[in-house]
Structure 1
Amino acid sequence: MDLQALRFFQAVAELGSISRAARELNYAQSNLTAKIQQLETELQTTLFYRHNRGTSLTDKGKVLLSYTDEIFKLLDEVRNVINDDQTPKGPLVIGSMETTAAVRLPILLSKFHREYPAVDLTLKTGPTEQNVQGVLQYELDGAFVAGPIEHPDLTHKTVIEEELVLVTDSFHQPLSSIKEIQNRTILVFRNGCSYRARFEEWLHHEGVIPEKIMEFGTLDGIIGCVSAGLGISLLPRSVVDKHVKDDLIIQHSIPNQFGKVKTLFIYRKDKYMSTSLREFIEMLSNEMALVNNAWS
């Protein structure tokens, strides 16, 4: 089977148009059309429906696309294996929750960068659900997420167990009951954040309905707005400790069943582990006890 024809087919499937795929790949439209027709003839099936808006995949086309994606992933992996001379180098893309990136990772990332300057390390922050999907879709080499995570294609290392605390502005009285926040606005990260899910689970368990839910994209945004009295939030104690000491906010303990969450580092079981990722995981493992003491 012609790999170029498969590449053309993949591009048309993703872009929904032969003309757009031709422009993207910088090939003549007639070349793409001929290759697609050649592929359809070889497989004795129709891969696309043609219409005035472009193209859409037939059922057989959808099946072929799933195999095509796997074929090119495997080819990329072969190149990575062949080109890997056991020297950490090249791109390494790590995902992380915003809170973990802010407090837990600077020391580790700084040390890794010093020891392996040839590695092009990129850190992408986002909620746990987004990071899990990023690893599953091969967009991230690994990611720091909140557990538990159970998926047959993923393996993980436990990094640390976080304690979650409720945070309010510095003028708030000590809480004697969760019912006291019935009419408060809660400040959270967007959907997919495990801390938000834990907060909502706790409120639902207690029968508390918040007055309003406001979503934020950054940790600084949440803490700043809590400090200003806009609302309350649920965050790891390690994240808010400094702000509590500066009298910007107050932290309140919550029940253990909702207040403990493990931070995990996840990566795919089936993907070839580059030397860079292997060294990153080894450094993470070697530093874990030391880092845990510093984070506790």
Structure 2
Amino acid sequence: MELKDLYIFMKVVETGNISKAAKELNYVQSNVTARIHKLEEELTTPLFHRHNRGMTLTPEGKTLIQYAEKILSQVTDMKKAFQNADKPTGKLEIGSVETVIKLPFILSTYNKKYQNVDLSLTTGVTEELIDEVLNYRLDGAFITAGNHNVHPDLVQYDVFEEELVLVSDMNPVSLEEIKEKPFLVFSSGCGYRAKLQEWLRDEQVVPSKLMELGTLETILGSVYSGLGVSYVPKSIVEHHHARGLMQYHRLPEQYSKIKTVFIRKKDAFLTSSLEKFIETIGEIRSVQGTTFPFFLRE
């Protein structure tokens, strides 16, 4: 079995059909087809169901994905291991809960110091990002977490801790009245949403409505217009509160304290580019003290 066959297999999985995979790989279609057949012969099992709409994976094909991702990741790690530790090169794929104000600061600081690294950023909610790191699709990610390790197969680095607060428009309202309003939340898998639902459960509150909104700007705008209430970091809304645009309400510490951590896969090779990225986080944090100079949200 050749590594090239696994690369081709993963490209067919990604694109969903032979012709698209061939185009992206700059191969003739017959070559891709032959490689897939060769792989199926070696493994003595079909990897795809062929139909008019394209190709879908068989159960055996889905199993091969897991092995292929690990093998190809290790090959990538092997290549990265020979980088110059002081002048890292290659790709560094980082994930993050969606940025708010100054995440670009840490990225630009790193990029200015290590210009030969091709740094990219993917955003998502915590659960999605954990899965991406565990399956070697991201080198590391910023996520929200409680006071325990998020997964035994991950190494995590504390970045900063924040206080979450309930936010509403400026109309006078009590905490009891807030419980009756629609809650504006990020998608499932968000750490902020999980904390909110923990409080609602313990208070035995069934929300009148839970509305999923995609961005922080949309949520804050909807809170300001009186559509509902939300649960976000206090640091994000303090200036809105100071301007008289919205008010916030504190909850007990067990529901309001949340940490942002940086995670990486424990058994993945620690490349020089990732090591320097982690060092950059530490350097900025040590200079700034306990307040990290950027904020993250989900």
Same fold (TM over 0.5): yes
1:129 equivalent in structure 2: 127
- Counterparts of 1:163-242 in structure 2, within 5 Å, are 163-173=163-173, 175=174, 178-242=175-239
Say how many residue pairs are matched. 291
Alpha carbons 2:88, 2:273 under 8 Å: kept: yes
Compute the displacement of 1:261 (Å).
1.1
With normalisation by structure 2, the TM-score equals 0.84
Q: Highest relative contact order (Cα 8 Å, sep 6+), 1 or 2?
A: 2
Mapped pair 1:91 → 2:95: no
- Structure with the higher fraction of residues in helix conformation: 1
In 1: Cα distance, 2:4 partner to 2:109 partner: 42
How far the C-alpha of 1:200 sits from its partner, in A, is 1.6
Q: Secondary structure at the match of 1:267?
A: strand
Between the aligned partners of 1:209 and 1:118, the Cα distance in structure 2 is 52
Task: Summarize the alignment of residues 11-26 of structure 1 with structure 2, pairs less than 5 Å apart.
Answer: 11-26=11-26
TM-score normalised by the chain length of structure 1: 0.84
* SS of equivalent residue, structure 1 residue 102: coil
On the 8 A contact 1:166/1:235 being kept in 2, the answer is: yes
SS in 1 for 2:82: helix
Change (3 A) 1:271 1:209: same
Report matched runs for 1:40-79 at 5 Å.
Answer: 40-51=40-51, 53-79=53-79
What is the 5 A alignment of 1:25-36? 25-36=25-36
For the residues of structure 1 that align with 2:163 and 2:29, how far apart are their CA atoms? 58
Q: Based on CA coordinates, which of the two structures has the bigger radius of gyration? A: 1
Between the aligned partners of 1:61 and 1:107, the Cα distance in structure 2 is 42
- Alpha-carbon offset, residue 2 of structure 1: 2.9
Q: Letter of the aligned partner of 1:94 in structure 2? A: I
Q: Quick check: 1:102 aligned with 2:85? A: no
Query: What residue is the counterpart of 1:82 in the other structure?
Result: 82
* Consecutive unaligned residues in structure 1, runs of 5 or more: none
Counterpart-to-counterpart distance in 1, 2:14 and 2:114 = 36
CA RMSD between the two structures: 2.8
Identity %: 45
With 131-140 and 153-162 compared, the bigger mean Cα shift is at: 131-140
Give how far 1:202 is off.
0.9
Distance of 2:8 and 2:105 partners within structure 1: 44
2:163, 2:258 within 8 Å by CA — same for their partners in 1? Answer: yes
Output the CA distance in 2 between the equivalents of 1:111 and 1:19: 41
Spell out, residue by residue over 1:34-81, the C-alpha distance to the aligned partner (whole angstroms, 9 max, x if none).
334444444444444555555454554444443233222222222222
Question: Is the alpha carbon distance of 1:168 and 1:286 closer, same or farther for their aligned partners in structure 2, counting shifts above 3 Å?
Answer: same
Amino acid at match of 2:121: L
User: Paired residue for 1:115?
Assistant: 113
**Distance between the aligned counterparts of 1:163 and 1:10, measured in 2?**
42
Q: 1:3 and 2:3 equivalent?
A: yes
- What is the match of residue 157 of structure 1? 157
1:146-182 Cα distance to aligned partner (Å, 9 max, x none):
1134312211011122111111112223x3xx43223
Kindly indicate whether the alpha-carbon contact (under 8 Å) linking 2:164 and 2:233 is maintained by their aligned counterparts in 1: yes
Q: Distance in 2 between matches of 1:61 and 1:255?
A: 48
Question: Quick one: distance in 1 between partners of 2:139 and 2:235?
Answer: 26
CA distance in structure 1 between the partners assigned to 2:240 and 2:179 by the alignment: 24
Alignment check: 8 A CA contact 1:179 1:208 kept: no
Compared with structure 1, are the counterparts of its residues 210 and 158 closer, same or farther at alpha carbon in structure 2 (3 Å cutoff)? same
| Secondary structure of residue in 2 paired with 1:35 | helix
> After the TM superposition, which of the residue ranges 148-157 and 246-255 deviates more from structure 2?
148-157
The amino acid that maps onto 1:92 is L
Q: Is the counterpart of residue 262 in structure 1 residue 267 in structure 2?
A: no
